Chains A and B, each alone.
Chain A
């Protein structure tokens, strides 16, 4: 479980805190989603979790232990993070890239894992990219690369999984497959923490949604609590229509047109 407790994060020379007294928990067995407009502090939370940005006040706890007191390796064994962006200067075969996920479990002189390592094969399988194993990373499409990165995190084999906008470059089918995978990981007992702009998917797949606005928690709770026009219109400063997903009954959201020659459509 990852717990943010009144966490404050300030960038050097910034006037206001990027993250201000944010508290929420990402428990095991659940998908927790962090949403919010650009610049609301979502990715800063991930950077703080990676200890790339110091925590000014409050704390972040992993399974009850203060992050700053834990060894980086120990954290990496428990929490796998897929950062927002990553590019390779020197391309690798996909399976070797995925094998890097085993690094937190290796000693300094350990032989690098082989192609046949079961953790790597399982990770490739779960991410649905077994057929890409021998390709070079420079030959992958944007969507394939994203899935390869998720496979690397799966190879890490922790109990918590943090993803910063993991489906940005994916088409509908691959994006849905990814969200189904996140739901399955949560069902298998992992803590899944998802930073996303995909409010509609988050509404269907997340157990808890945390809405950030200017570094603070504007709303938190079940999708039904957070995906409400009265809450979201204030934060996103855009008119919205909330309907219902006919299949699973989750709230669904439709941003409205409020400019241009035609009046906004009122039916979904």
Chain B
């Protein structure tokens, strides 16, 4: 009962943040006007601003946060690593390489773009895990993280190389990817990202109990009838899919997957089914809030969304790292 009230409260906060994000802008609106405009009431200009510009932006931010939060929760549990998250593991970087390559080849449609990102993300997580295993085992969370950071650096370099003789327009596009942004949100992007987030989220919720078991370690998972190698492979792929879809839609938004699962655990959630669901909700709220901060900090300029989440995430990372050792 207390837990239900707590989650209702958190959901209301997320909703309030989303309404605030829609209300704030060059033309400030009241919360009442926002709700009316979403329903199609009020003057035509306001309805147009809300429905075609601000609502898709807020929904995109909610979806990006939900996807990254769930991916982070799943990766931390399956890898037994409190520092794991898509950005630090190089998964998002790999996805960005895939996305930039797809755009360079002229394949930026709603099907090809996320799939190219996914291919890059899956390759990146495979390489990061392989490097970690070859250099002292996945058991040490710091080794895996170093491998991920190296994969991320390589991905950055690969993007630079691809851009070296690209037209200025493509460079601007790629920079946008590397900094993360929900500014160019449109309903098409929102629609396909919603499909990927719903699909990936449902698969993770389905496998959540296995993540509970995987977090005991390989031997105990085997003792409970779970094939740790196979099960964790599926979870990595789903987490890669979720992160890749968010990268294809909004670029690199780091540290959300790191911070959010710890926030959910801090309110007493332990089992991964609740943890993943809670991470979706809190992640959605965090990215909407971060986008609001990005717009409020130095108007009329907008800070890159990825920079805002990194400014929040890096100190958090250091605290977690300290706790680890």
A residues in contact (CB < 8 Å) with B = 47, 50-52, 71-77, 80-90, 92-93, 96, 100-101, 103-104, 106, 108-110, 112, 153, 156
Kindly supply a per-residue 1/0 record for chain B positions 183-222, scoring 1 wherever the CB is within 8 Å of any chain A CB and 0 otherwise: 0000000000000000000000011010011011111101
Contact B219 A89 (CB under 8 A): no
Contact A86 B225 (CB under 8 A): no
Task: Tell me, yes or no, whether B249 is within 8 Å of chain A by CB.
Answer: no
A47 to B219, CA, bound (A): 8
List the one stretch of B13-21, B75-83, B295-303 in contact with chain A. B75-83
Task: Tell me, yes or no, whether B224 is within 8 Å of chain A by CB.
Answer: yes
- CB contacts (< 8 Å) of A110 on chain B: these are 209
Kindly supply a per-residue 1/0 record for chain B positions 107-123, scoring 1 wherever the CB is within 8 Å of any chain A CB and 0 otherwise: 00000000000000000
Contact B80 A86 (CB under 8 A): no
Shortest beta-carbon contacts, A-B, top 6: A76-B225, A83-B219, A50-B222, A81-B223, A73-B225, A104-B225
Cβ-neighbour of B219 out of A50, A72, A80 (below 8 A): A50
Q: 23 A-B pairs, CB-CB below 8 angstroms?
A: A50-B219, A50-B222, A51-B222, A52-B218, A72-B222, A72-B227, A81-B219, A81-B222, A81-B223, A82-B223, A86-B220, A87-B217, A88-B215, A90-B76, A90-B265, A90-B270, A93-B270, A100-B216, A103-B212, A103-B224, A104-B225, A108-B209, A110-B209
A247 to B232, CA, bound (A): 51
Contact A52 B206 (CB under 8 A): no
Residue in A closest to B217 when the chains form the complex, CB atoms:
A86
Contact B224 A104 (CB under 8 A): yes
Contact A106 B225 (CB under 8 A): no
- CB contacts (< 8 Å) of B273 on chain A: these are 112
A51 to B80, CA, bound (A): 21
Task: Tell me, yes or no, whether B271 is within 8 Å of chain A by CB.
Answer: yes
Task: Tell me, yes or no, whether B226 is within 8 Å of chain A by CB.
Answer: yes
Contact B226 A90 (CB under 8 A): no
A73 to B225, CA, bound (A): 4
Contact A109 B206 (CB under 8 A): yes
Chain B: minimal CB distance from A88 (Å): 7
Contact A83 B223 (CB under 8 A): yes
Chain B: minimal CB distance from A61 (Å): 18
Which residues in window 63-80 of B have CB below 8 A to A? 76-77, 80
- CB contacts (< 8 Å) of B224 on chain A: these are 76, 100-101, 103-104, 156
- CB contacts (< 8 Å) of B265 on chain A: these are 90
Contact A89 B225 (CB under 8 A): no
Cβ-neighbour of A92 out of B219, B222, B227, B270 (below 8 A): B270
Known contacts A51-B222, A72-B225, A90-B265; can you find 12 more A-B pairs with CB under 8 A? A50-B219, A51-B227, A80-B223, A90-B77, A93-B270, A96-B270, A96-B271, A100-B224, A103-B213, A106-B209, A108-B209, A112-B209
A183 to B254, CA, bound (A): 54
- CB contacts (< 8 Å) of A71 on chain B: these are 225
Chain B: minimal CB distance from A228 (Å): 33
Chain A: minimal CB distance from B185 (Å): 34
- CB contacts (< 8 Å) of B213 on chain A: these are 100, 103
Contact A75 B225 (CB under 8 A): yes
- CB contacts (< 8 Å) of B216 on chain A: these are 86, 88, 100
- CB contacts (< 8 Å) of B207 on chain A: these are 108
Contact B225 A103 (CB under 8 A): yes
Contact B215 A50 (CB under 8 A): no
Chain B: minimal CB distance from A191 (Å): 15
Which residues in window 150-180 of B have CB below 8 A to A? none
Contact B217 A100 (CB under 8 A): no
Chain A: minimal CB distance from B229 (Å): 9
Cβ-neighbour of A50 out of B77, B80, B223 (below 8 A): B223
Cβ-neighbour of A72 out of B76, B209, B226 (below 8 A): B226
Contact B223 A76 (CB under 8 A): yes
Chain A: minimal CB distance from B138 (Å): 12
Which residues in window 215-264 of B have CB below 8 A to A? 215-220, 222-227
Residue in B closest to A73 when the chains form the complex, CB atoms:
B225
A82 to B219, CA, bound (A): 9
A106 to B226, CA, bound (A): 12
Residue in B closest to A96 when the chains form the complex, CB atoms:
B270
- CB contacts (< 8 Å) of B220 on chain A: these are 83, 86
